[in-house]
Chains A and B, each alone.
Chain A
Amino acid sequence: MPVIAPVDCDTFVVKAAFLGNTAAFACGNGTVRLVGEGETLAKPHDGGLLAAAVSPDGSRIVTGGDDGRVVGVSADGSLSEIASRPRKWIDMVTVAAQGAVAFASGRTAWVVQEGGKEKEFTLPRAVGGIAFAPRGLRLAVARYDGVSLFWVNVDSPEQDLSWKGAHTGILFSPDGKYIVTTMQENALHGWRLADQQDMRMTGYPTKVKSMDWSAKGRYLATSGANAAVLWPFHGKSGPMGQQPLQLGVRSDTIVAVVACHPKEDVIAIGYQDGMVLAVRFEDNAEVLLRRPGEAPVSTLAWDARGERLAFGTEAGEAGIISLGE
């Protein structure tokens, strides 16, 4: 039976993550609560914290705030300012494999390399989402009517992927072959980069706001329906012509957040009513991890070994669920 260690965050949990054995909860009031051996409260932002991303090596969580700052927070609570854009609301942040940080506000995206070298990318319309390619050499920016792909280190023309409509979030597949965006409509759009083949993934009753790749990038798990919808990407032509898996079906609520187990074909699903389930792909076997609470689940994160799951909700309820053996 899973055991929950509650963590009281008291304010919207924007992002949960594990920094090694320490669970980090980045919260809307500008704080990052670090729960390891003891508990530390870091305050990277004067105002609100709008976005956060964990570095792939788990060494720090990078946060963006409405004070215009981008800050790295380590497991011991120490802070390091990465960039500052006074009066801008930094509401998108992502970290590349080699440590570069990208962030965005309004119509501009920036990349800061580990040595501090900065590069600015200005777009004609607002940045909807940002994602690094797996090796961190390219930055993909979701925008109105498509995606712009920029080289991070060299001055070379951007590449455009077109699809009409507002693209609001973006991910590269772990093998770098596909880009998938969430849209203002209740749909996903994908491109196979080799030939720019378009993929439409539709049928959602609400907007898709959470996406995550399963172990080895076999499936793309998504929120936005009354079950977690997992599109198969292991075939030759990705999800085209394939039916998605539907896991953790509920009749009375919608999936808010998905987080795939780092090793197994298992997914953690957070719902609008605050419930959290773990579901196995092969037989749809479900384990209840958390009963419904006060507010929608806003974030879920597995530790590297897949033994613990951190969760947070829009009302500031949070905790660490140990799955045991």
Chain B
Amino acid sequence: MTATPEAGADTKIPVTVLTGYLGAGKTTLMNRILTENHGTRYAVIVNEFGEIGIDNDLLVESDEEIFEMNNGCICCTVRGDLIRTVENLMKRKGSFDAILVETTGVADPAPVAQTFFMDDDVREKARLDAVVTVVDSRHVLKRLEDTEEAEDQIAFADVILLNKTDLVTAEELKAVEDRIHSINPYAVLHRTERCGVDLKAVLNRGAFDLERILSLDPQFLEDHDHHHECGPGCDHDHHHHDHEHGHDHHHEDPHSVKSISLTAGELNPQVFFRWIGDVTQVQGPNILRLKGIMAFKDDPQRYVVQGVHMIVEGDHQRDWKDGEERVSRIVFIGRELDENALVTGLKACEA
């Protein structure tokens, strides 16, 4: 509970979180963001000054400080250093427009994201814009075999830069894309060499803005903002047209991260809120991200939800349009999710 009125969304400082394994090209992207003339002044929080060749007095080195919250929730962790740095930066409000947070190569992105939902002070001043993950095309499959973090970073991403594409063959690239797609079909994916991407594709995405949850169709290989178009060079096989069955299907190792997309008709809101609360309480540690657009019976508006682990937030968004099909759709990205239970649970919420 907080008694301070939330500042309007546009007065909150947008925060872009940059993740990616060591050597994937994070620093290259960061240097581009800092040097290109895009009119936005960034305050930058890095883990190590390292190779960032920028002299910027709003560049701060920060050691990751994971705080567990004393609320009995094992996955409720926040980044204490981030809370402090945001607080410090607010003393210089007006001298920057946005914040860029670079995580270490092995970092779990969840505590960073959760900080923007769980800490009232940070939440009041700043908003998470997007998690951007840089992936090394040549090494990522090996990394995914070795570590959970590499998988988490892809699962958490809103935008993925599939970097160093010049160092792999077309077949290898296809294999990498398929693997990324199986983990997270909802991130916007860009093929790049030396992180050469229009920065508009990375910055100001509004990926955590409930207002901007437009569609939950997979956006694999999307290079533009047109949600149902494929960019040049797109060769994906459109195998995600099985929504009518209520869920997507992947034949992967059951312990690896996968996405589950569920659909249902109009829902009883009370039953739905109880269900989503229970699901996130019980399965929260295994749920990395969730997003949904719900149709409630006798409600003229779409209700949108999103979540990270045990945190869920939701709001009415806009009126259903004439002719728009009133279906409820929710997407979970996580590991060891009980798909059948989720299907049955959502079905039981139907009005």
Contact = CB atoms under 8 A, between A and B. Distances in A.
Interface of A: 11-12, 14, 28-29, 46-50, 66-67, 87, 89, 91, 106-107, 125-126, 128, 144, 164-166, 184-185, 205-207, 226, 252-254, 272, 296, 314
Contacts of B4: 206, 253-254, 272, 296
B3 A254 contact: yes
A30 to B, nearest CB: 9
A121 to B, nearest CB: 16
Interface string B189-215: 000000000000000000000000000
Contacts, number: 90
Given A12-B91, A48-B92, A165-B70, A126 B3 contact: no
Contacts of A67: 57
B81 interface: yes
Contact of B60 (A66, A185, A253, A254): A66
Interface of A is mostly: loop
B84 A126 contact: yes
Contacts of A50: 88, 91
Interface stretch (B61-69, B216-224, B264-272): B61-69
Given A50-B88, A144-B80, A272-B4, A107 B63 contact: yes
B91 A87 contact: no
A14 to B, nearest CB: 6
Nearest to A163: B70
B67 A12 contact: no
A99 B2 CA distance: 39
B49 interface: yes
Q: 3 shortest A-B CB distances, which residue pairs?
A: A28-B91, A48-B92, A47-B57
B346 to A, nearest CB: 34
B8 to A, nearest CB: 14
A207 B4 CA distance: 12
A107 B85 CA distance: 14
Nearest to B49: A87
Contacts of B95: 29, 48
Nearest to B63: A106
B67 A184 contact: yes
B96 to A, nearest CB: 10
Contacts of B92: 11-12, 28-29, 47-48, 66
Nearest to B78: A184
Contacts of A296: 4
A165 B3 CA distance: 24
Nearest to B81: A126
Contact of B120 (A47, A106, A206): A206
B327 to A, nearest CB: 39
B350 interface: no
Interface residues on B, range: 20 to 34
> Which has the most chain B C-beta neighbours within 10 Å: A12, A126, A164?
A126
Contacts of A166: 65, 67, 80
B289 to A, nearest CB: 24
B91 A14 contact: yes
A126 B81 CA distance: 8
B94 interface: yes
Contacts of B58: 47, 66
Contact of B93 (A28, A87, A125, A254): A28
A184 B3 contact: no
A128 B91 CA distance: 18
> Which has the most chain A C-beta neighbours within 10 Å: B68, B71, B78, B91?
B91
B82 to A, nearest CB: 11
B67 A87 contact: no
Nearest to B67: A166
> Which has the most chain A C-beta neighbours within 10 Å: B1, B57, B71, B78?
B57
A11 B94 contact: yes
Contacts of B83: 184
B57 A66 contact: yes
Given A144-B65, A207-B121, A164 B93 contact: no
Contacts of B230: none
Contacts of B276: none
A12 B93 contact: yes
A29 B91 CA distance: 8
